[in-house]
Amino acid sequence: MQTVSKIWMDGKLIPWEKAQIHVLTHTFHYGGGAFEGIRFYETNKGPAVFRLTDHIKRLFYSASVLDMKIPHSRKDLENAVIKLIKAVKLKSGYIRPIVYYGYEKMGLDPIGSPVNTAIAVWPWGAYLGEKPVKTHISKFIRIHPSSTYPEAKLCGHYVNSILASLDARHNNAKEAILLDYKGNVAEGPGENIFMVKNGVLITPKKGSILSGITRDSLKQLAKKLKIQNKEALISKKELLSADEVFFSGTAAEVTAIGSIDGKKISNGKMGPITSSLKDLFTETVHGRVPEFKNWLTYVK
């Protein structure tokens, strides 16, 4: 990975290589931490963070399900992100805030452990590459909504994502698609999923997914493009017979899905609705769409 000069840790900017934790850090063992993935982009007014307030809000929600009291305000963490981007002098990149139960005690009840916070940024290109991706429907189902809080972005949830990613790799695919416990399409290991059928944009209903900030943004952009869109239950059969399928997410942005388990989606290329949404998304994050400028926090 490409490194930068500093990381923000518990209120201070410290050298990248000094940003370390104790091996008995509670979250390292049990996964009871929360994190975010945010991107910032180059605009004609300098770098701008995309939907910073919404991401930090979700971080606080995620921490709250763990009874974790983050020892900073939301505003403090937003300011810390801006300060860090300025300090490392990047024009664009990825931002990873994480809050975790630290080193003090072991045992599953985390209360009594200190709460630590860190924010890292680094340059990160297209997460799944530029071309339509080969996918595999995983043998692992998405985390069950009665086992956890799917809307919280918790570290431990990502074991499910790692297993699905490895399963995809074992099946010669670049990325996994996970079904929910009822057998309907849920999402990718780190992305939401959309399909297009007869000109209508459809994405799985909330319940077993992390309903992403990119997903929300794309629904609003679809409205602007006068593309009819809805949330619905999607069966595996419906997904396989879709005209277009794509992933959405902060890291993946808009990534077309070329095939699912060896079956091409249309001609395997990016479809027209995916392409128009991707283009408008790109314009938006670079600050070129006036009506969505309030999604950007400029690093001044």
Nearest to 248 by CA among 161, 128, 142: 128
Which amino acid is present at 55? Answer: H
Q: Give just the sign of the alpha carbon dihedral 191, 197, 201, 205.
A: negative
Question: What is the C-alpha separation between 211 and 290, in angstroms, rounded?
Answer: 25
Q: Which of 62, 116, 135, 192 is close enough to bind ligand PMP by CB under 6 A?
A: 192
> Catalytic residue among 6, 153, 219, 278, which?
153
What is the rounded CA–CA span in Å between residue 157 and residue 90? Answer: 30
Whole-angstrom distance, CA of residue 246 vs CA of residue 195: 6
**Three-state secondary structure call for residue 262:** coil
Restricting to residues 30-69, name those near ligand PMP by CB under 6 A: 37
Identity of the residue, 97 or 212, whose beta carbon is nearer to ligand PMP in the bound complex:
212
Considering only 92, 138, 165, 214, the residue that binds ligand PMP (CB under 6 A) is 214
Q: Which stretch binds ligand PMP (CB under 6 A): 68-76, 122-130, 242-250, 285-293?
A: 242-250
Helix count (H) and strand count (E) of the chain? Answer: 7, 17
Min separation Cβ 24 and ligand PMP, Å = 27
230 annotated active-site? no
For position 274 contacting ligand PMP by CB under 6 A, the verdict is no
The least distance separating ligand PMP from the CB of residue 74, rounded to whole angstroms, comes to 16
Locate the DSSP E strands across 153-243.
175-179, 185-187, 192-197, 200-204, 229-232
Is residue 204 part of the contact set for ligand PMP (CB under 6 A)? Answer: no
Residue 253 is a binding residue for ligand PMP (CB under 6 A): no
Interface residues toward ligand PMP, by CB under 6 A: 37, 153, 187, 190-192, 210, 212-215, 248-250
